[in-house]
Homo-oligomer: A and B are copies of this chain.
Amino acid sequence: MTTTHNLIVSARAPDQLRDVRIQRGYTMHAEGSVLISVGNTQVLCTASVEEKVPPHKRGSGEGWVTAEYGMLPRATNTRGSREAAKGKQSGRTQEIQRLIGRSLRAVFDLKKLGERTIQLDCDVIQADGGTRCASITGAYVAAQDAVSWLLARGLITESPVLHPVAAVSVGIVGGAPVLDLDYVQDSSCDTDMNVVMTGAGHFVEVQGTAEGAAFSRTEMNRLLDLAEKGIGELIALQQQALLV
């Protein structure tokens, strides 16, 4: 039996990222199409250029960057119900897609994009923790490919991308800070924090939640240190992938 995706066993240091793979041109239709794998988590991120903007941007001369997020029903250990069949997106899904959209807009000069939309779709093929962070990190690469597509066609003359952007989760597991939680770690952690940062080392989003015990200022600082380290590495990997 051909098994293309085996379980990747984690034997990492607490400050070590899982294995990250970024595959560009993964599907053929989208202007940008990236499969990002972070450990066993796999997200297909596509960027679609649409020559229209939402109502609040019409006539502004500015563009828009937005995102939608989904999870295939059996991306998870037990099957989740299909949101299209239930007839609505969960609160969790909406929260995540709003986060992805804000994170990407934070590194775009919407004026330079012109009155068009980059629509990002992040669909989780396989889930093992950290899907929202993988989505942001992968969506940035897909968005870059869409920008290159626009530049190559002369639709824009200057890149609207101000900085790279990437995201990672950090948390306190069994009392100790850990970088890049997988599903088992995420389920048992006391504090879970998702951090989005730019290539310039600034924060775009910090979302920390005490799942169990509330966390101290000191713990927060240690988590932010880990996140800074991890995001630096992720941004290097994005840049590598974009050089190919």
Q: Which residues of A contact B (CB under 8 A)?
A: 1-7, 23-30, 33, 35, 40, 42, 44, 46, 48, 50, 68, 70, 72-77, 79, 82-85, 87-89, 91-95, 97-98, 102, 106, 119, 121, 123, 125-127, 163, 193, 197-198, 200-210, 213-217, 220, 224, 228, 241, 244
Contacts and interface: CB of A to CB of B under 8 A. Distances in A.
Given A5-B27, A25-B3, A88-B87, A202 B210 contact: yes
Contacts of A23: 2, 4
B209 A102 contact: yes
A183 B82 CA distance: 26
- Please classify the interface of chain A as helix (H, G, I), strand (E, B), loop, or mixed, using the class held by over half of its residues: mixed
A106 to B, nearest CB: 5
Q: How many copies does the complex hold?
A: 6
A30 B5 CA distance: 12
Contacts of A220: 203, 206, 224
B208 A203 contact: yes
A24 B40 contact: no
A121 B207 contact: no
Contact of A68 (B27, B85, B97, B163): B85
A196 to B, nearest CB: 9
Query: Which are the 7 A-B pairs with shortest beta-carbon distances?
Result: A202-B214, A83-B84, A91-B94, A3-B25, A46-B74, A48-B79, A206-B208
Given A204-B214, A217-B224, A1 B25 contact: yes
Nearest to A21: B2
Contacts of A30: 74, 79
